[in-house]
Structure formats: structure tokens, C-alpha cells
Amino acid sequence: MEIKSTQFDMTNPFAPLQQRVNQVETVLRQMPPAQREQLLAEMPPPMPMHRPATAIEPAVTMVSVKVEEWDGGPVVQRAASTPVLRPRRIARHIPWQWRLIVAGIRLTRIVRKSAKQQMKQFNKLQRQMIRRVLPRHKAMRGARAR
């Protein structure tokens, strides 16, 4: 089974539909005019793509309504939080030399942290070995020296 490469090409998602429309148009052009008119008359009318705008918009009417339960005092409304629109920071071009310097600084930090952890682990193991091998400075009377 052969798969057309256009099936996976999403540069134009309407390409398959446009191909089908082109095929239908070529078939219609090849038909005799009488048969073409009969076929087009049998087809349902195409659906409109968008709602047609009315030529004349209705006029806006403002109406005031009397509210019985208001005592005439000040109207307290909860202030809606105003969205703060901060400008996005656009990163400027960084030269390759600066990138190398930053990479070196980060690598130095990583190596220092690793060395610090390894030194800590080594000192811990060293203390354990000293405890196991050497006797205590002043063991309790009656206790076995380590």
C-alpha cells in the first residue's frame, strides 16, 4: 500500500479538501451542460459560511428603571481588580564569548559542588575507619579498647 506524502504534510490543512473540490470541478466541466444543470439543481444549496450582517442596525434605546429598595445612599460596588499588563522582556542577542563565560561559570559551580560533596563523603568514611582501627584516647576502666 502506498502512502502519499501529502497526507502527513500539514503546511496546508485544507489541501485534501481543495483537491477533492478540484476533482469535482473537473468532472463537472467534462459533463454535458444539460446533465450538469440537472445535477446542480438536485443538490441542496450550500450552507453560508457566516451569518450575513444586517444592512441597518437597530437603534440603541436607553431606559431608566425606578428601584424601590434603594435609599438614595452611595452605591458601594466591589472594585474589580485591574489587570496589570507588564511588558514582556525581550532577550537581546548574546555574543558567543559571553555564552562561553556563562557556561564556564556554571560548570565551575557544578564541579565545586560535586567536589564538596565528595570531600564530605571521604571525611565521613575516614572518621569511620579511624574509629574502627584506633583505640580511644581514654577508654573507661574495664572496657575493651577498640
129: left (phi over 0), alpha (psi -120 to 50) or beta: alpha
Give the residue, 108 or 16, on which the prediction is more confident. 108
Counting runs of H as helices and runs of E as strands, what totals does the chain give?
Answer: 3, 0
Name the more confident of 132 and 31.
31
Per-residue pLDDT, 17: 82
> What's the structural domain count of the chain?
1
Residue 67 within a domain: no
Region 70-77: mean pLDDT is: 71
Residue 9 has pLDDT above 70, yes or no: no
pLDDT at 83: 83
Of the candidates 110, 14, 36, the residue with the CA atom closest to the CA atom of residue 102: 110
Orientation of helix 33-42 relative to helix 15-30, angle to 10°: 130
Q: What is the mean pLDDT of the chain?
A: 78
- Is there a domain that residue 10 lies in? no
DSSP, res 90: P
pTM assigned to the model:
0.31
What whole-number distance in Å separates Cα of residue 20 and Cα of residue 25? 9
Q: Is the pLDDT of residue 78 over 90?
A: no
In a domain, 146, yes or no: no
Q: Is residue 124 part of a domain?
A: yes
Task: Quickly count: other Cβ atoms within 10 Å of residue 31's Cβ.
Answer: 13
pLDDT at 61 (0 to 100): 79
Question: Amino acid identity of 21?
Answer: V
Residue 37 one-letter amino acid? E
Cα–Cα separations (whole angstroms), residue 107 to 75, 97, 115: 62, 15, 12
pLDDT on residue 146: 52
Give the span between the Cα atoms of 73 and 76, in whole angstroms. Answer: 9
The secondary structure of residue 114, as a DSSP letter, is H
Within 8 A by CB and 6+ apart from 56, the residues are none
Residue 89 domain flag: no
In a domain, 104, yes or no: yes
Could you give the 3-state DSSP secondary structure of residue 2? Answer: coil
**Residue 104, domain extent:** 97-129
pLDDT in tens, 17-69: 888 888 988 988 888 888 888 887 887 776 666 555 556 767 777 888 776 77
